[in-house]
């Protein structure tokens, strides 16, 4: 059985290698023409005292697929804005150096000409969509080009087919799941025959299976149309699911790395600037293997581990397994909850579970499976049509939001809906001010929380000058500072870099050790494995599993039903010939946590 799987994997490796070779050959032929050329390019936002981008030198060739990674706030989105013309047309500031797009100086082009060359999928999920329905949104660029209606119908039919949305053309955009929205925004830039496609964090809100699909879709479209593709993304491992020509590493506004994935993964660069490495690479590094580019670490299927199997096995036996947790009393119990947003419609069907004090639990599942809805029900934002919610055995179904909020804190998925002040400090202090906490105590607690969330240097800034990931951290800080007994976080790590991710998560663990119960909604499988021993799995409004995280990911039917994905560590463990991949994952996590705690 094992051998069979290994030989299957080997076959996949061969296929994959072939594809890479083909792609490289094709690209080598066409790669003559540079389409994007930054030369000594710097940019400073008008309101800033220091430049956000420093001395950028970067050339991207026709038909290349390039990934940009780097910490949150390092200037990735800003770099993207320079390409599509939002810098300097919409975001004012000072530009120096030169930027050429297909040979023409970007300064001489207006934003319309640029929009014909560069198609952008923006990072912020709000305001991405303009039309009322899917078809209109896709047609938007064509309408602006005065395309005749007949031609529009034809083109929309083609493009929607390409992204597999042809059946939803008349749907309203509100009614789509996260993954479907992503496809619509892709189609919206595809209708225009642009040369360059720019994606700013296309995966941030997608479930693992949909994320994988999105990456495959981008890859397929690129191969079919031979466009230049630039992807900005924190989820490096997920992007590498399909081959990428080059990875650019940005840190603090500078390019500190520009190389092939294999070279990058073999270098210590990612670790230095706190971008998460693919887990299988990390495991090999922990085991003491020396990674070289010709081991082809860019994909778990191609990764040649023969040379370090022995080391991995050694490490595996020497790492201490983690300790199981002791049982405590139940703090939150949800019983037979049913709910629908509209009368007659059912979004949640008979969900029950209970959570013990001091637990850390994940809620995972597909886009649109009702995870966020569930959290809103717990906090009283919505009222269930039937069922009860108990807090320490007491029925709280009748309590107001405010009463519940005194014990249960929630960080919502979309930061824009939580922010109510202009300045970062005031926003974080708000809850304490309302509760009448003395001023000096407020100050102390707020500053401490800002430090934990990596926002201390920005404490006197307006929130409008923050990057997306930074905004999300402000909302986390504003709830953390209240020190609730139960904490619900809706996708706390979406759009965060590894360092902040670790800092926030370790702080949560610290809180957890002091008895705070933590419920996390997440699409990050590794986060689930790493921090939450238990996972509740949702699919189409039903609870389909409630088990240990490791068991959930070992069950193929659950994975399929809930659009989850096993981590690459499983694959590594299998390929290295360990009989118990689950145990390997558990030990890796324990070890990894130990290493990262030393960062702080």
Partner 1 sequence: MKRNQLSIKTIVAIGIGAAVFVILGRFASIPTGVPNTNFDTSYGFLALMAIIFGPVAGGLIGLIGHALKDAIFYGTPWWSWVVVSGIVGFLIGLAAKKINIESGVFTVKKIILFNVVQIIVQAIGWFVIAPTLDVLIYAEPANKVYLQGAVAGGLNMVTVAVLGTLLLSIYAKSRSQSGSLTKDV
Partner 2 sequence: MAVEMLSYIERQSPVHRLTGVTKMICFMIWSSIAMLTYDTRVLIFLFLLSMGVFIVSKVKLKEVAFVLLFILFFLLINNLAIYVFSPQEGVAIYGTSHVLVDIDGGRYSLTLEQLFYQMNVTLKYFTVIPAAILFIVTTNPSEFAASLNRIGVSYRISYAVALALRYIPDIQRDFRTIALSQQARGIDMSRKEKLPKRIKNAASIIIPLILSSLDKIEIISNAMELRGFGKNKKRTWYRARPFQKIDIVTIILFVLILVVSLYITFHDGDRFYNPF
Ligand X SMILES: Nc1ncnc2c1ncn2[C@@H]1O[C@H](COP(=O)(O)OP(=O)(O)OP(=O)(O)O)[C@@H](O)[C@H]1O
Residue 444 neighbours by CB under 8 Å, 6+ apart: none
User: Is 85 a binder of partner 2 (CB under 8 A)?
Assistant: yes
Q: Which two tokens stand for residue 50?
A: 């220091």
Single out the segment in contact with partner 1 by CB under 8 A; choices: 24-32, 176-184, 457-465, 570-578: 457-465
Q: What are phi and psi of 92, to 5 degrees?
A: -80, 155
* Cα separation, 447 vs 459, whole angstroms: 8
Q: Name the DSSP letter for residue 227.
A: -
State the number of binding residues for partner 2 (CB under 8 A): 64
Contact between 296 and ligand X by CB under 6 A: the answer reads no
Q: Quick count: other Cβ atoms within 10 Å of Cβ 581?
A: 21
How far, CA to CA in Å, does 539 sit from each of 341, 489, 531? Answer: 17, 19, 22
In the list 23, 41, 61, 78, the residue contacting ligand X (rule: CB under 6 A) is 78
Contacted entry of partner 2, ligand X, partner 1, none for residue 587, CB cut-off 5 to 8 Å set by kind: none
Quote the least distance from Cβ 437 to ligand X, whole Å: 29
Beta strands in 403-480 (DSSP E): 408-411
What 579-586 contacts at long range (C-beta under 8 Å, 24+ apart), as own/partner pairs, is: 579/2, 582/550, 582/551, 582/554, 583/321, 584/283, 584/316, 585/529, 585/550, 586/321, 586/322, 586/550
When CB distances are held under 5 to 8 angstroms depending on the partner's kind, the choice from ligand X, partner 1, partner 2, none that residue 392 binds is: none
Binding residue (CB under 8 A) for partner 1 from 7, 21, 47, 307:
47
Single residue of 82, 95, 142, 289 touching partner 2 by CB under 8 A = 142
379 sits near partner 2 (criterion: CB under 8 A) = yes
Distances (CA, A) of 487 to 237, 359, 508, 524: 29, 11, 9, 18
For the segment 448-487, give every residue that binds ligand X (CB under 6 A).
Answer: 465-470
Contacting Mg ion within 58-97 (CB under 5 A):
77
The answer for residues whose C-beta is within 8 angstroms of residue 482's C-beta and 6 or more apart is: 409, 431, 432, 435
Spatial distance between the Cα atoms of 70 and 232, rounded to a whole number of angstroms:
9
* 274 is an interface residue for ligand X by CB under 6 A: no
Identify which range of 117-125, 286-294, 328-336, 504-512 contacts partner 2 by CB under 8 A.
117-125
Dihedral sign for Cα atoms in the order 111, 114, 116, 118: negative
User: What is the contact surface with partner 1 in residues (CB under 8 A)?
Assistant: 45-50, 422, 456-458, 460-462, 464-465
User: What is the contact surface with ligand X in residues (CB under 6 A)?
Assistant: 45, 47-48, 52, 70, 72-78, 91, 123, 175, 177-178, 205, 207, 341, 347, 365, 367-373, 413, 465-470, 495
User: What is the contact surface with partner 2 in residues (CB under 8 A)?
Assistant: 84-86, 89-90, 111-112, 115-116, 120, 122, 124, 126-128, 130-133, 135-136, 139-149, 152, 156, 174, 188-189, 192, 376, 379, 381, 400-402, 404-406, 409-410, 412, 416-422, 430-431, 434-435, 464, 478, 482
User: What is the contact surface with Mg ion in residues (CB under 5 A)?
Assistant: 77, 123, 372, 413, 467
């Amino acid at each position: 059985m094992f051998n069979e799987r290994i030989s299957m994997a080997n076959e996949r490796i061969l296929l994959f290698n072939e594809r890479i070779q083909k792609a490289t050959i094709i690209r080598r032929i066409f790669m003559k023409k540079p389409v994007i050329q930054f030369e000594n390019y710097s940019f400073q936002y008008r309101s800033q005292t220091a430049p956000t981008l420093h001395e950028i030198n970067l050339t991207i060739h026709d038909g290349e697929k390039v990934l940009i990674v780097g910490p949150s706030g390092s200037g990735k989105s800003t770099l993207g804005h320079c390409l599509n013309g939002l810098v300097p047309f919409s975001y004012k500031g000072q530009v120096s150096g030169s930027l050429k797009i297909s040979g023409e100086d970007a300064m001489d082009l207006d934003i319309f000409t640029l929009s014909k060359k560069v198609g952008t999928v923006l990072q912020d999920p709000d305001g991405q969509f303009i039309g009322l329905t899917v078809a209109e949104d896709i047609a938007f660029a064509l309408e602006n080009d005065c395309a005749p209606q007949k031609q529009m119908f034809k083109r929309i039919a083609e493009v929607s087919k390409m992204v597999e949305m042809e059946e939803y053309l008349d749907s309203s955009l509100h009614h789509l799941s996260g993954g479907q929205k992503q496809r619509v925004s892709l189609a919206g830039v595809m209708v225009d025959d642009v040369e360059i496609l720019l994606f700013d964090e296309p995966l941030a809100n997608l479930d693992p299976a949909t994320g994988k699909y999105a990456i495959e879709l981008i890859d397929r479209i690129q191969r079919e149309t031979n466009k230049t593709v630039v992807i900005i993304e924190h989820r490096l491992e997920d992007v590498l699911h399909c081959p990428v020509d080059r990875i650019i590493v940005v840190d603090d506004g500078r390019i500190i790395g520009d190389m092939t994935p294999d070279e990058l993964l073999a270098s210590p660069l990612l670790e230095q600037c706190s971008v998460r490495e693919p887990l299988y690479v990390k495991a090999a590094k922990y085991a003491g293997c020396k990674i070289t580019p010709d081991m082809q670490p860019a994909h778990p299927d191609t990764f040649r581990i023969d040379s370090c199997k022995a080391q991995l096995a050694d490490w595996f036996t020497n790492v201490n397994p983690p300790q199981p947790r002791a049982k405590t009393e139940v703090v939150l119990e949800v019983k037979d909850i049913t709910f629908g947003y509209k009368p007659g419609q059912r979004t949640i069907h008979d969900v029950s579970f209970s959570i013990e004090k001091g637990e850390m639990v994940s809620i995972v599942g597909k886009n649109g499976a009702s995870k966020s809805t569930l959290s809103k029900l717990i906090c009283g934002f919505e009222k269930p049509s039937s069922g009860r919610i108990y807090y320490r055995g007491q029925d709280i179904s009748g309590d107001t939001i405010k009463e519940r909020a005194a014990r249960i804190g929630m960080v919502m998925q979309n930061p824009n809906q939580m922010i109510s002040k202009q300045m970062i400090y005031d926003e974080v202090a708000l809850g304490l001010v309302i509760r009448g906490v003395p001023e000096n105590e407020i100050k102390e607690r707020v500053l401490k929380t800002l430090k934990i969330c990596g926002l201390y240097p920005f404490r006197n800034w307006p929130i409008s000058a923050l990057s997306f990931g930074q905004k999300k951290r402000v909302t986390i800080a504003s709830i953390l500072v209240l020190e609730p007994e139960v904490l619900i976080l809706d996708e706390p790590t979406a759009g965060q870099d590894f360092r902040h991710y670790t800092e926030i998560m370790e702080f949560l663990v610290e809180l957890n050790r002091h008895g705070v119960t933590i419920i996390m909604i997440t699409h990050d499988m590794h986060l689930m494995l790493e921090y939450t021993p238990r996972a509740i799995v949702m699919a189409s409004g039903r609870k389909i599993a409630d088990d240990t995280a490791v068991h959930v990911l070992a069950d193929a039917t659950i994975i399929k039903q809930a659009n989850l994905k096993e981590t690459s560590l499983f694959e590594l463990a299998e390929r290295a010939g360990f009989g118990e991949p689950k145990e390997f994952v558990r030990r890796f996590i324990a070890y990894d946590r130990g290493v990262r705690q030393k960062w702080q």
